[in-house]
Structure 1
Amino acid sequence: MDSSLRPELFNFLGVPMIHYYTNNWDGVQNFQARQDDILLATYPRSGTTWTSYALDLLYFGQKSQERQETIPIYARVPHLEATLPVKQPGSTQALIKETETADKLLTSPRIMKTHLPVQFVPKSFWEQNCRIIYVGRNAKDTVVSYFHLDRMTKMHPEPGDWNTFLQRFMEGKMVFGSWYDHVNGWWKKMQTYSKLHYMFYEDLIEDTGQEIDKLCSFLGLSASTEEKESIRSKVQFSDMKNNSMVNHTTFKGLDFNKSSFIRKGKVGDWKNHFTVAQSEAFDEDYKQKMKDPTLQFRTKI
């Protein structure tokens, strides 16, 4: 693919961004949340689609089989800050504003997702006291997954080779900024905002059922044991990988010759990418940047 068609990173209010996520900034900042809205926040490649699907199943899985079979998960759970390019007749390009997609959701609650750092979240979510779920994933597996995503998505900057990409990640020169700032910013928010449920990708892998139980408790849902077991089986990676409504194969902006969108869903895949020297340098850098001893991530389970 012609790399010149890919967007460039630029500094946006102190955070590296691309225009696909800033083109509708006023629309994002002025988005009107409702009290029962649910916002899922993640750094890219931290279980966003996985948790979106689990949430959608928890609320609507029993109600509409047609919804599960005909509407892709990215349309059921819109990406709030995204503007998506679509080709119009006559080869002109238009932009779909995902804030408008979210506004038009007929479900109650509306479930939305964001990759925004905490300081960029539309203020109406805090004012309406909405429930917010954050999923964090260990940095080493995140950077590997992000590398494979950027290889396949035409909407992100050219990733370059693995070593270059890893260096950029350590420097925070990524779309949506520094992983360190992101996970720490959201962690700190819990001290002042009680309706924030912070989850860990590694816990979800280790005991999906237990994490679904915690989600139900946070959301005030009383799903039956059978319902929860049904959801747990549907959100297994092998099932999601083969589900065309979840695996993003219907999304036009991805090159599936480069990677699959739902790739491995493993903890510790970083060992297949990092050299010993890269791992040691990363660990040293990590110690400098992760100062809060209360926030702990696992690189193996």
Structure 2
Amino acid sequence: MDKKVRGTLGQVHGIPLLECIVKQWTKVENFQASKEDLLIATYPKSGTTWLQEVVDQILNVGDAEKCKRAPTHVRMPFIEMAPTEGVPFDGVSILDTMDPPRVIKTHLPIQLVPQSFWEAGCKVIYMARNPKDTVVSYYHFSRMSMNQPEPGSWQQFLEKFMAAQLGWGSWHDHVKGYWRERHSKRILYVFFEDMKEDPLREVKRIAVFLERQLSESAIDCIVQMTKFSAMRENPMANYSTIPDTVFDRTSSDFMRKGEVGDWKNHFSAEEDAVFENQYHKLMADCPIPIRFTI
């Protein structure tokens, strides 16, 4: 039995969030965004760190040394993150010390994003990842991260995911929320699977959205530096600076596989059938082109 104290969940407007976030919700809600700020939004374990690194590389024109100036969570703070034992990071407090333009990470569903982002007309990049790979990654992350509630067995965790009882709530509602608003707000919607399939094309798409003109050689360089293998070896991108008291690396790596289709190694045929049935029901009203394999 693990004796370390694990995180617990509370709720904000019906969405389950870590209790430490719930306690300082007013601070998050009242955050003042500037129109130059960029928001990177994802459901947990959807390639967030990868997208952050791609964006930082584009903004720094592929300058590898500049992108190693600090760990990811310092360069691009996680707005709703609240301090916990061993991790004294408070997203809003770090952001308040930074001058715009800031790159800001969030896992919040669109309805919980602080209103100032929309009032300021900020650009948002949203990355979606197929839910089967997402839940597998989330399961292994929850085994490792002491800030997360105890995940239980794979079967129990999968049931919680399907019941929208994990931190940040329903995957289905999350991806649909940003998809439906992508034309009315300045949202670039990208897919994890597209990035894996053709990173060159997707890096170019993101650069155009950020209004950055890059040479072909700079783009090639960014693609190489943001490969999973390269990021896994980069201490400023692989979360190796987080203490072992918070990340139990004997359970799992933070950067585990980064693949498309690893879900096939976890789902039983029966689990897959039940999951597929729910997926088609819940996504019927919003046909997002999610791919489970490439």
TM-score category, normalised to shorter length: over 0.9
Structure 1 pair 262–177 and aligned structure 2 pair: CA distance change class (3 A): same
Higher mean displacement: 244-253 or 152-161: 244-253
- Which residue in 2 is equivalent to 1:241? 232
Displacement, 1:110?
A: 0.8
Q: Matches of 1:281 and 1:117 in 2, distance apart?
A: 25
1:239-273 deviation line (CA, Å, top 9, x unaligned): 11111111101112211111111111111000000
Question: What SS is found at the alignment partner of 1:158?
Answer: coil
Provide the alpha-carbon RMSD of the alignment: 1.7
Select which of 202, 207, 214 maps to 2:198.
207
- Is 2:215 the counterpart of 1:224? yes
Higher mean displacement: 246-255 or 19-28: 19-28
Give 2:103's aligned amino acid: I
Select which of 162, 167, 171 maps to 1:170.
162
Q: Matches of 2:89 and 2:282 in 1, distance apart?
A: 37
Question: What SS is found at the alignment partner of 1:84?
Answer: coil
- Which residue in 2 is equivalent to 1:288? 281
Q: Matches of 2:187 and 2:232 in 1, distance apart?
A: 29
Question: What SS is found at the alignment partner of 1:167?
Answer: helix
1:1-301 superposed matches below 5 A? 2=2, 5-62=5-62, 65=65, 67-86=66-85, 95-106=88-99, 108-193=100-185, 195-252=186-243, 253-301=246-294
Q: Matches of 2:195 and 2:129 in 1, distance apart?
A: 10
Q: Matches of 1:249 and 1:164 in 2, distance apart?
A: 28
Displacement, 1:104?
A: 1.6
Structure 1 pair 288–64 and aligned structure 2 pair: CA distance change class (3 A): closer
Structure 1 pair 266–133 and aligned structure 2 pair: CA distance change class (3 A): same
Q: Matches of 2:163 and 2:205 in 1, distance apart?
A: 34
Displacement, 1:292?
A: 2.9
> What count of residue pairs does the alignment treat as equivalent?
292
Q: Matches of 1:86 and 1:299 in 2, distance apart?
A: 37
Q: Matches of 2:18 and 2:26 in 1, distance apart?
A: 15
Give 1:163's aligned amino acid: Q
Give 1:291's aligned amino acid: A
Asked whether the 8 Å contact 2:61–2:214 carries over to 1, the reply is: no
Q: Matches of 1:237 and 1:31 in 2, distance apart?
A: 32
Long gaps (5+) in structure 1: 88-93
Asked whether the 8 Å contact 1:150–1:156 carries over to 2, the reply is: yes
Question: What SS is found at the alignment partner of 1:5?
Answer: coil
Asked whether the 8 Å contact 2:143–2:252 carries over to 1, the reply is: yes
Long gaps (5+) in structure 2: none
Give 1:237's aligned amino acid: F
Question: What SS is found at the alignment partner of 2:92?
Answer: helix
Structure 1 pair 281–215 and aligned structure 2 pair: CA distance change class (3 A): same
Displacement, 1:54?
A: 0.7
Q: Matches of 2:201 and 2:173 in 1, distance apart?
A: 28
1:149-187 deviation line (CA, Å, top 9, x unaligned): 000000010000000000110111110001011011111
Structure 1 pair 169–191 and aligned structure 2 pair: CA distance change class (3 A): same
Q: Matches of 1:158 and 1:63 in 2, distance apart?
A: 40
Question: What SS is found at the alignment partner of 2:201?
Answer: helix
Q: Matches of 2:84 and 2:43 in 1, distance apart?
A: 22
Question: What SS is found at the alignment partner of 1:40?
Answer: strand
Displacement, 1:64?
A: 7.4
Query: Identity percentage over the alignment?
Result: 39
Q: Matches of 1:272 and 1:62 in 2, distance apart?
A: 35
Question: What SS is found at the alignment partner of 1:148?
Answer: helix
TM-score (norm 2): 0.95
Asked whether the 8 Å contact 1:3–1:158 carries over to 2, the reply is: no
Displacement, 1:207?
A: 0.4
TM-score (norm 1): 0.92
